[in-house]
Structures are given as structure tokens and as C-alpha cells.
Chains A and B, each alone.
Chain A
Amino acid sequence: MLSPGKAVKVTIYLSEGSTRHGVPVYTSILDFLFYRGVAGATVTKGIAGFGADHHMHSANLIDLADHLPVKIEFIESREKVDSLLNKLQAMAGTGLIEMQETNIAKPARTTKDLEKEQPEHLKIEGHAQLMRIYLNEEDRWNGKPLYKALVEAMRSNDLAGVTVYKGFLGYGSHHQLHGDESIFSLHHGSIMLSTVDTAEKLRAFLPIVDQMVQEGLVTFSDVDIIKYAHRSPDVQQDIQSEAESDKAE
């Protein structure tokens, strides 16, 4: 398993048509990397190129189309690469092998690993706060309904969750300024957003609310979180694939 930090990227340039023991060289190299436990490898096919023998290979020339360039890339630790290199040199035949230092920002993960790990924002328990935002259904922000924009902003900021409620009667801050309308002419589009998260997360989100909400009311109250359960990623995938198969039917 690769870890973030220094690693080596190996690129092997081959011709698609070159074979070894009767199979294309790139497939035997790929098998070799697979069985030696390399973290991952990718084979890409070029559309034109030339190699050491200076023959131009291009997809346009039908007679040479099976000699198109093929590139195998993989990333591994220095030790692992050193242990593979002799064998790779023998396998690559006329091909070229290039190595470069690289940095891994994020290693690839299996879905099983992801199941075990919970994203930071999904771990909340005990004391928390409930933030309610009251606004008008007609309020807009950057051309979209404000409540929708707020939900998107909350999701981008990893708040634990939000629910939008629509009131069928009510009045808010701006009716206080000119309160002469009859009650029946009041807007019927009162919206309340309710979101629960830690006090720090909600306070950190507040400047965004300041910026987006021109008129309205925001309240905070203390709550205790009893349970915050969520589906694991693979369950979501199952549901998606079920939905897709439903569509197919």
C-alpha cells in the first residue's frame, strides 16, 4: 500500500506489436506487475509515434497500425521499483524505461478501506448546536433561490446535514419595517432551514450566511446529538446500481 510522500513513477514505452512468448509485451508486463503486487498500473495507447529504429508509426498507415506506441505507467516506492527493475529491463526488449521522482498527494484506496474510514465531518456526537435560518422563498442569490444556494454552501462546507421547511403562513424581518399589510397579503413562502453541527463548524459557516442572507433571521440553540447514522459508501453504490437496473428495465 502506497503512502503519501516520495515515490517513483516508472514509464515503459513499447510497440503494440512486439511480443514475448507469443503474447504482446505490454500484457506480459502488466501481468508481471499485477502478480508482484504493484499498487496500480495503466496502459495507454498512442495514436502515433516513433522509436529507436526511427520508423514512423501512425494509425493512418494501415500496414503499420499494429506497431502503434504503447505506454505502461506505474507508481511505487523506490525499494519496490528497484526489486522489479532487472526483470522489467529484460521484458521490455527494444522498449524504453524511464523513471522519475514523484510525490504522492493521495494514495488510491480500495472501497473496503473507505468503508472503515469515516470522513471527519461524519463524526459528531454529544453537545452540538441547531442553527435555524428563516428567509423568504422568493429571496435569491446569484440567480438561484437563496435556500438552495445555502444548502449547496452548507454541503460544500461539510456541515452534517440540513433540512428545508416551507411554512404556509408567516412573516419575517422585513414586514416589521412596513407592517401595514393585512395578514392575508403576507407572503406564503416562508422558508426555514434547520441544520445541526458542532458550534465551531456553525460559527465558521456564519460569515457565509452573513454574505448571502440580506434579510432574515438566524438562531442558534443547544442540542444533544443522540444518533448520527449514515450509509457506508458501498451501500450507496448498491442503491445506485439498483436504481440503474430499474431504469434499464
Chain B
Amino acid sequence: MKEQFSGCMVRVHFGEEDRWQGIPLYEAIVAKCKELGIAEAIVFRGIEGFGSASRIRRSSLWSFSKDAPIQVSIIDSEEQIARLLPFLDSIVDEGLVATSRVEGILYRPNEHPTKS
């Protein structure tokens, strides 16, 4: 099944150490996305970067720092994203939220998914 839509992409940038109510911030964001039924959320760990607090975030074998840069990409229609933004606003203390317009095509398996 194929569904075309015009929507919005949100990218949230922060650090791996950032937490919200004891759980990693990225897990909280993905959980919220799932709760809202948002189409796609994916978390990337960067190998190097710096953020709003202007410190180099680096995850390397040689350093014990686990504060790697994290990027969460979220895609859905503008209405869905609008429902998510207040939540992001409330839980991201230090970081960056960027939105951009995208044209999307969603592929879904038919009635019986082949994967469990």
C-alpha cells in the first residue's frame, strides 16, 4: 500500500546524557511519538558535534564520556507534528528543534505483515 502526503520533518538535536524523568531523552521522545501515532521516528548517534552549549560532544573509545550528539528525526503530517511540538518544547531543556517541509511517500505492508 502506498500513500503520498505532504508533511513536516522535525529534527531534535541534543546529547546522549540528556534525561527526562530518569529515562534518556531520546527514549522519551520516541515513546511520545509512538503514543501520538506518528509515522516515523528514528534516533541517530553522531560521532562528533557540538550543540547549543558550545561543547564538543564526542563518543570515542578513548574517552569515558558517553555524551555523544543525538539527533531524532520525526516525520508526519503538519497536524501530527503540531501535536508533538508542545511536548518537545516542554522536555528539551538544552538542544535544538528544527522543522522543514517534506513531500513523503509511505509504504505499508498489506493486511498481513510479513514480519513479526
Task: Say yes or no: is A216 at the interface (Cβ < 8 Å to chain B).
Answer: yes
Give per-residue flags for B25-68: 1 if the beta carbon is below 8 A from chain A beta carbons, else 0: 01100110110010111111100000000000000000000000
CB closest residue in chain B, given A181: B34
Is the contact region of chain B dominated by helix, strand, or loop, or is it mixed?
Answer: strand
Instruction: Report yes or no: A221 in contact with B27, Cβ–Cβ below 8 A.
Output: no
Contact at B34–A179, with CB atoms within 8 Å?
A: yes
Is A183 within 8 A of B103, CB to CB?
no
Instruction: Report how far A68 CA is from B109 CA in the complex, Å.
Output: 67
Q: What string of 1s and 0s marks CB contacts (under 8 Å) between B98-116 and chain A?
A: 0011111111110001110
Tell me whether B106 and A165 are in contact (CB under 8 A): no
* Chain B residues with CB below 8 A from A172, complex form: 39-40, 42
Partner-binding segment picked from A207-215, A225-233, A239-247: A207-215
Interchain nearest-CB distance for A225 vs B (Å): 16
In whole angstroms, what is the CA distance A134 to B74 when docked? 11
Q: Min CB distance, A240 to chain B, in Å?
A: 27
Does A142 count as interface, using CB distance less than 8 angstroms? no
Query: Total interface residues on A, using CB and 8 Å?
Result: 35
A206–B7 alpha-carbon span in the complex (Å): 18
Among A170-221, those with CB < 8 Å from B are 170-179, 183, 186, 190, 192, 206, 209-210, 213-221
Which residues of B sit under 8 angstroms from A66, Cβ to Cβ? none
A170 and B104 contacting across the interface, CB-CB below 8 Å: no
Most chain B beta-carbon neighbours within 10 Å: one of A169, A209, A214, A219: A219
Known contacts A134-B42, A138-B115, A219-B75: does B108 contact A174 (CB below 8 Å)?
A: yes
Chain A residues near B113 (CB, 8 Å)?
A: 174, 177-178, 215
Q: What is B's interface to A at a CB cutoff of 8 Å?
A: 2, 7, 9, 26-27, 30-31, 33-34, 37, 39-45, 73, 75, 100-109, 113-115
25 interchain pairs, CB-CB under 8 A = A134-B40, A136-B115, A167-B43, A168-B45, A169-B30, A170-B30, A171-B33, A175-B34, A176-B39, A177-B108, A177-B109, A183-B30, A183-B31, A186-B30, A192-B42, A214-B107, A215-B107, A215-B108, A216-B107, A217-B39, A217-B104, A217-B106, A219-B102, A219-B104, A221-B102
